[in-house]
A and B are shown apart, each in its own frame.
Chain A
């Protein structure tokens, strides 16, 4: 039932393929988490500045993406992304066919999803900073940039770390959906291997164990970071 001999490294088994697939999952997760955090910061900024239009756009974005299945968002970006990029390129006078590679599309798709979750976490932790802090910084004559980097960011990071840890877990698990685009990550690899070896159970359980390891290890890392960042605060 469970064929251990199919998981050895080298030509006889799928061990090395799975190792590469795991690294691909990690790569997509890290890239899209980073891009997602960047998008989330823009979204939070759009929500907290007193501008009705930006706030509407940001709210529309987070509501729609969070109300629509992740799979649908991925399909939309995977199948519709090329058309969008080509129509943008046309504006700049480039008329040839453009095809984005699977990794780019995967990263963008997962980032767009993960940014909506991150933005809620970041917004909550921004609101948790007392106004007095920002006012005090202003009274000291700090400009906007140093207020952002020296007063707001360190506190937001401390407040947001547990929430960001959760978003990371969600993002990591969402990368499994990327398999529908053909990018060879853990899920796709397990489908390929089970089609070749006619033993889905073996490779799907392998995939489950790999995901479990990834989530557990990264959970530990986030715990350590949390302890590190809340030094001097009784939590």
Chain B
């Protein structure tokens, strides 16, 4: 038994697991900033997208078109390598953020998730029945009250499953930030691989952690769905 435990402790996966685990906080830090920021901005962008101001709506539509049509990797590289090569950005206050791979990652992830999120929320907002809005209007609700009490609560509830998907895609997307030398889980796994020449062990350790993170995310979304869609609960 003790021999067995020793052999586990000496195994490469076990050692790598804790090494990769030390990058977990960096991954979570990326998510903790970009997800809430992305959520709020996506809501605002969705409202702009469905607004009657043509210029605003068109601008946001083309923003969504461009971001959804290009890979996230291009966006990350554009912000990290591309913007850094422009002289007046290097001399402006933006450089304080853009010289750090972490902030480049946060900016790129936020820009990306806002485009996808806005499209999801737009679907939710447009799927609201007209009668709901009309009854709100007939009760004398103003525009803001209508938004706060009727449109947003219904829309957000409706799109919770698809927004949950987007959240999981974001967890996976954080791995791309490792390509800008930011040391999160994938970055550390690659470093271990380069040191030990044992790729499978290093990447399996990271894979388990990502699976766990995504599992937590799924449970979180499930809980939100359960809490905010009580009429869809199966029992009682």
Chain A contact residues, CB within 8 Å of chain B: 1, 64, 66-72, 75-76, 79-80, 83, 173-174, 176-177, 179-180, 187, 190-191, 194, 198-201, 204-205, 207-208, 211-212, 215-216
Residues of B within 8 A of A64 (CB): 207, 211
Please tell me if the beta carbons of B81 and A69 are within 8 angstroms of each other in the complex. Answer: no
Residues of A within 8 A of B207 (CB): 64, 68, 72, 76
Please tell me if the beta carbons of A72 and B186 are within 8 angstroms of each other in the complex. Answer: yes
Assess whether B26 is interfacial by the CB under 8 Å rule: no
Please tell me if the beta carbons of B74 and A207 are within 8 angstroms of each other in the complex. Answer: yes
Interface size classification for chain B = 35 or more
Give the interface centre of A68, A180, A194 by most chain B CB atoms within 10 Å: A68
Closest to A209 in B: B70
Determine which of B73, B172, B175 lies in contact with A187 in the assembled complex, contact meaning CB atoms within 8 Å.
B73
In the complex, what's the smallest C-beta–C-beta distance from A177 to chain B, in angstroms? 6
Contact bitstring B185-219, A, C-beta under 8 A = 1, else 0: 01001100100000110011011001100110000
Please tell me if the beta carbons of A204 and B190 are within 8 angstroms of each other in the complex. Answer: no
Residues of A within 8 A of B81 (CB): 194, 200, 204
Residues of B within 8 A of A174 (CB): 71
Given contacts A64-B207, A180-B179, contact A69 B172 (CB under 8 A): yes
Residues of A within 8 A of B77 (CB): 187, 190-191, 200, 204
Please tell me if the beta carbons of B186 and A69 are within 8 angstroms of each other in the complex. Answer: yes
8 chain-A/chain-B pairs, Cβ below 8 angstroms: A71-B176, A71-B178, A179-B73, A187-B73, A205-B78, A207-B74, A211-B69, A212-B69
Contact bitstring B80-94, A, C-beta under 8 A = 1, else 0: 011111100000000
Contact bitstring B57-83, A, C-beta under 8 A = 1, else 0: 000000000101111111101100111
Please tell me if the beta carbons of B71 and A72 are within 8 angstroms of each other in the complex. Answer: no
Please tell me if the beta carbons of A176 and B178 are within 8 angstroms of each other in the complex. Answer: no
Give the interface centre of B168, B175, B203 by most chain A CB atoms within 10 Å: B203
Residue pairs across A and B with CB atoms within 8 Å: the count is: 111
Assess whether B41 is interfacial by the CB under 8 Å rule: no
Residues of B within 8 A of A212 (CB): 66, 69-70
Given A67-B168, A187-B73, A201-B82, 10 additional A-B pairs, CB 8 A = A69-B173, A69-B186, A75-B189, A76-B203, A198-B85, A199-B85, A200-B85, A212-B70, A215-B68, A215-B70
Please tell me if the beta carbons of B74 and A204 are within 8 angstroms of each other in the complex. Answer: yes
A137 CA to B53 CA, complexed, in Å: 54
Closest to B218 in A: A67
Given contacts A76-B200, A173-B70, contact A71 B211 (CB under 8 A): no
Given contacts A64-B211, A68-B210, contact A211 B179 (CB under 8 A): no
Give the interface centre of A70, A174, A199 by most chain B CB atoms within 10 Å: A70
Give the interface centre of A191, A194, A200, A207 by most chain B CB atoms within 10 Å: A200
Given contacts A71-B178, A83-B200, contact A201 B71 (CB under 8 A): no
Please tell me if the beta carbons of A211 and B176 are within 8 angstroms of each other in the complex. Answer: no
Residues of A within 8 A of B68 (CB): 215
Determine which of A66, A76, A191, A211 lies in contact with B71 in the assembled complex, contact meaning CB atoms within 8 Å.
A211
